[in-house]
Amino acid sequence: MSTLFSPIDLGSLHLKNRIIIAPMCQYSAQDGLVSDWHTIHLGNLALSGAGMLIIEATAVEAIGRISPYDVGLWSDATESALKNMLSAVRKYSSMPIAIQLAHAGRKASSQRPWEGGQLIPVAEGGWHPVAPSAIPHGANEPAPAALDLAGMQRIKQAFADAAIRAHRLGIDAIEIHSAHGYLLHQFLSPLSNQRTDQYGGSLENRMRFPLEVIDAVKEVLPADYPLGVRISASDWVEGGWDILQSITYTQALEQRDCAFIHVSSGGLSTQQKIPLESGYQVHFAEAIKKITSMPVIAVGLITEAEHAERILNDGQADLIGIARGILYDPHWPWHAAAKLGGTVDAPPQYWRSQPRELKNLFGEIRQGGR
Range of the structural domain that residue 22 is part of: 16-332
Separation between Cα atoms, residue 313 and residue 322, nearest integer Å: 17
Question: Considering the domain boundaries, does residue 146 fall inside one?
Answer: yes
| 249 flagged as catalytic | no
Count of domains forming the chain: 1
pLDDT digits 0-9 by tens, 239-251: 999 999 999 999 9
Question: Considering the domain boundaries, does residue 312 fall inside one?
Answer: yes
Question: Considering the domain boundaries, does residue 211 fall inside one?
Answer: yes
pTM above 0.85, yes or no: yes
pLDDT digits 0-9 by tens, 310-344: 999 999 999 999 999 999 999 999 999 999 999 99
Contact 71, 34 (CB under 8 A): yes
Backbone angles phi, psi at 24, to 5 degrees: -140, 115
Q: Which long-range contacts (CB under 8 A, 24 or more apart) does 122-131 make?
A: 125/68, 126/68, 127/62, 127/63, 128/63, 129/63, 129/104, 129/105, 130/63, 130/105, 130/106, 130/155, 130/183, 131/105, 131/106, 131/183, 131/186, 131/192
Question: Considering the domain boundaries, does residue 173 fall inside one?
Answer: yes
Q: Is 366 exposed, middle or buried (0-12, 13-18, 19+ CB in 10 A)?
A: exposed
pLDDT at 366 > cutoff 80:
no
Separation between Cα atoms, residue 306 and residue 41, nearest integer Å: 26
Terminus-to-terminus CA distance in the chain, angstroms? 35
Give the CATH number of the domain where residue 210 resides.
3.20.20.70
pLDDT digits 0-9 by tens, 101-111: 999 999 999 99
Question: Considering the domain boundaries, does residue 362 fall inside one?
Answer: no
Closest alpha carbon to 73 in 160, 179, 187: 160
Contact 147, 105 (CB under 8 A): no
Q: Which of 182, 199, 225, 249 is flagged as catalytic?
A: 182
Strands 13-15 and 260-264: unpaired
Question: Considering the domain boundaries, does residue 51 fall inside one?
Answer: yes
Question: Considering the domain boundaries, does residue 208 fall inside one?
Answer: yes
pLDDT at 368 > cutoff 60:
no
